[in-house]
Structure 1
Amino acid sequence: MNRQTAAPDYRDEWYDEQCGGCRFWVALSGELGRDWGACTHVESAFDGQVLFEHDGCASFIVRADGSFG
């Protein structure tokens, strides 16, 4: 679910619910890991898929330490 931040229907709370801040998003190694990672959340429609850090989904769970990426 690529949510474009410039879209008129983009909700403010989605800024804090991007894949890079989800506890189940694991960054790829190397250069790609700056922006891309794998979803490891079994309840997400994107489980097992590689996603851009700014994507999001309804199964988002914030990281315990509040980090991003």
Structure 2
Amino acid sequence: MSTERLVPQRERTADDRGHNDDCHERWLRLTNRRTGQPDYRDEWFDEQCGGCRSWIALTGELGRDWGACTHPGSAFDGRVRFEHDGCELFRIREDGSFG
């Protein structure tokens, strides 16, 4: 057993700018599709998570760019996704909204 003392982490909130920036950078590495990648297809631009009816935005500052996938058939179901990411199970929102 380690003799190191556990240092309690300070509580995080949805408006903790430093924490949000760290999450944003860390989570970007997990995206499925990046608009800057050479094999990014033009049709994917209109099929981004932020426009999918299965994407629900987070609250607070992170909710401006991040949400959870709720599509039961998606490999990303229950995972935090960048609004500009996407997958093959995209379903357009009937009201045409984004984010």
Mark yes or no: TM-score above 0.5. Answer: yes
Unpaired runs of at least 5, structure 1:
none
| Higher RCO by CA contacts (8 Å cutoff, separation 6 or greater) | 1
What's the % identity of the aligned pairs?
A: 75
Equivalent residue pairs, number = 69
**Which 4+ runs in 1 deviate beyond 4 A?**
none
Query: Based on CA coordinates, which of the two structures has the bigger radius of gyration?
Result: 2
Spell out the pairing of 1:4-19 with structure 2 (5 A cutoff). Answer: 4-19=34-49
1:47 matched residue in structure 2: 77
From 52, 63, 68, give the equivalent of 1:22. 52
TM superposition shift of 1:2? 2.5
Does the Cα contact within 8 Å between 1:2 and 1:54 map onto a contact in 2? Answer: no
Higher normalized helix content (fraction of residues)? 2
CA RMSD of aligned residues (A): 0.9
Unpaired runs of at least 5, structure 2:
1-30
CA displacement, residues 20-48 of structure 1 (integer Å, 9 cap, x when unaligned): 00000000011110000000110111000
Higher normalized strand content (fraction of residues)? 1
